[in-house]
Amino acid sequence: MMFNRKITKTLNSSLLPLGRRWHGVPDEGSKRDFEVSQITPHQVWTKLAKRSLSPTILSPKGEGYDETRHKATGTNSCNHLITQSPVLDLLHAHGDSPKERCSSRLVPFAIRTRYAPSVRKSASHLITSKAAAFTLAEVLITLAVIGIVAALTLPGLIQNHNEKAWSTAKDLWEKKLTETVRRMNIDGVMTGHDSTEDFMNTFKNYMKVIKTCDNGDINKCYSPKIVTTGKDDAPLDIETETLTSASSMGLKEWQTNTNTMSFVVADGTTVIMAYQPECPYADPIEDTGSQVSCMGYMVDVNGKKGPNRVGKDIQLSSGVAFSTCDNPIGDMCWSTEFQANRAINTCDGSEYEDLDSYGSSNSYCAINYWAGAKLTCQEKGMSLPTRAQLAQLASNLYVGSAGNAITIGANENRSSLKVKDEYSQNPPITLGYDHRYWSSEEYNANCAYTRYFYTTGTDGSDNNWYSKVNNNRRAVCISN
């Protein structure tokens, strides 16, 4: 009986995936063949694999064949091979002894077995097996999908976590502040302070404050910039160094412009606070929390870490509010004052000639500081005030010697006045005889009207005008 090439091909296709190959077909009459089994090679392989064995199928000249040893042992080589190998158990399972198998001529092919720990079934087999492994493309696609899902879901999860953390921290601050005020009220030290600084010296004995920063160093304890909501719900940046007074924090109803301070609590919370010197007395037994309203504050529950946004990690006390106006006085909004030392060219042919109604007839049109102030206000979306508007500012800034309200005319000179209490510590403009502020009205081609403010009066009379080439004047802008 002879194996043809078709059978050989079939055996090869069965064994190749496992790294072994049929080396040829022995002759039917060859005495050197090891005739071991009449079951199919696949069945033999299956049974051997279950025992963690690695079979090698050999032809007379195949891999591992020892012709010298075969000739020495003769046909007993078959018996020796079978009796010394795990194949013996398989043969017994088929009801034949090794001797009978060696004498059988039914299937002329040789099987030799050996132990091969390298191919024992284990987790590593799954990695090295071509049938079980993933391709690089599959791995990369899987990682990409995981990355996309993470990118879509993680920001929302993190935001929800932060929102809950901020809310919890705000509640904790409110409870801590209420308890602090209650204890101060019981000890009778909540009222009677002349300033925020004086109040803070007592306050830090009741709350664990690790650092305080005075009015000129707000940013040493607090974030230099915060974000709130401005006009049309657009984000509005607030420079915290400008929050130096109660009025700058929107606390107009206090009728006092007390200074602010910033401080850091032991848990990392940062606060900008203003104290109301007119804080009313409260019964320490029946009223234990209402005096919290004696403080205006802005608290950031996670310190200088972001997002530093009102409504997120920043909470404002009642009455505190921000707007785009630096100094809301009366029904007008005034900018922060600035030195009018920006000269522009308003001569005919210049892009700024419309800022000076006299054009080239102004002898100083090429170096025009007054027009430079007008341009600065325009860039702020505001305008340089008229003489009447500067007089209105003076009426809101001063009171009569008896504390009575006054009204000042556009070209009026008034003395024997005093600054209102709410502006005494932090006036919206610098007061002094040498601080004259430009108006938008021109005296002639070369000059424009000014008004100056000092501690006991103001002057905007008709003879109070100066050359447009003068760079020592100051300016303030106005809008509704």
Question: Nearest to residue 268, comparing CAs of 315, 228, 317, 209?
Answer: 209
In a domain, 137, yes or no: no
Q: For residues 195 and 306, state if they share a domain.
A: yes
What domain range is 220 assigned to? Answer: 151-324
- Domain count along the chain: 3
Residue pair 466/447 in contact by the 8 Å Cβ criterion: yes
Q: For residues 471 and 373, state if they share a domain.
A: yes
Q: For residues 167 and 304, state if they share a domain.
A: yes
**Spatial separation of the C-alpha atoms in residues 423 and 400, rounded to whole Å:** 14
Q: For residues 78 and 224, state if they share a domain.
A: no
Q: For residues 370 and 280, state if they share a domain.
A: no
In a domain, 139, yes or no: no
Rounded to the nearest angstrom, the gap between the alpha carbon of residue 259 and the centroid of all alpha carbons in its chain is 32
Q: For residues 217 and 259, state if they share a domain.
A: yes
The predicted pLDDT at position 261 comes to 94
**Spatial separation of the C-alpha atoms in residues 437 and 240, rounded to whole Å:** 26
In a domain, 140, yes or no: no
Q: For residues 380 and 233, state if they share a domain.
A: no
Q: For residues 318 and 369, state if they share a domain.
A: no
Q: For residues 80 and 156, state if they share a domain.
A: no
Domain boundary among 128, 160, 192: 128
Q: CA-based Rg of the chain, rounded to a whole angstrom?
A: 48
Per-residue pLDDT tens, the chain, 480 aa: give them. Answer: 343 444 344 444 444 333 333 344 344 444 333 333 344 444 544 554 454 444 443 333 343 444 444 444 444 444 444 444 444 444 344 444 544 444 443 333 334 333 334 344 444 444 455 556 889 999 999 999 999 998 888 888 888 888 899 999 999 999 999 899 889 988 889 888 989 999 999 999 999 999 999 988 999 999 999 988 765 566 778 888 888 888 788 786 676 678 899 999 999 999 999 998 888 877 777 765 667 788 999 999 999 888 999 889 999 988 887 765 667 787 788 888 899 999 999 998 888 988 998 888 888 899 999 999 999 988 877 899 999 999 999 999 999 999 899 999 999 999 999 998 878 777 778 777 668 999 999 999 999 999 989 889 999 999 999 999 999 899 999 986
Domain boundary among 75, 95, 128: 128
In a domain, 142, yes or no: no
Q: Model confidence over 171-217: pLDDT tens digits?
A: 999 999 989 988 998 888 988 898 999 999 999 999 999 999 998 89
Q: For residues 270 and 356, state if they share a domain.
A: no
In a domain, 87, yes or no: yes
In a domain, 10, yes or no: yes
Q: For residues 238 and 202, state if they share a domain.
A: yes
Q: One-letter amino acid identity for 349? A: G
The predicted pLDDT at position 343 comes to 93
Rounded to the nearest angstrom, the gap between the alpha carbon of residue 273 and the centroid of all alpha carbons in its chain is 26
Domain boundary among 278, 305, 324: 324
C-alpha to C-alpha distances, 427 to 274, 289, 311, 348, 376, nearest whole angstrom: 16, 32, 30, 40, 22
In a domain, 36, yes or no: yes
Q: For residues 422 and 475, state if they share a domain.
A: yes
Confirm whether pTM is higher than 0.85: no
In a domain, 133, yes or no: no
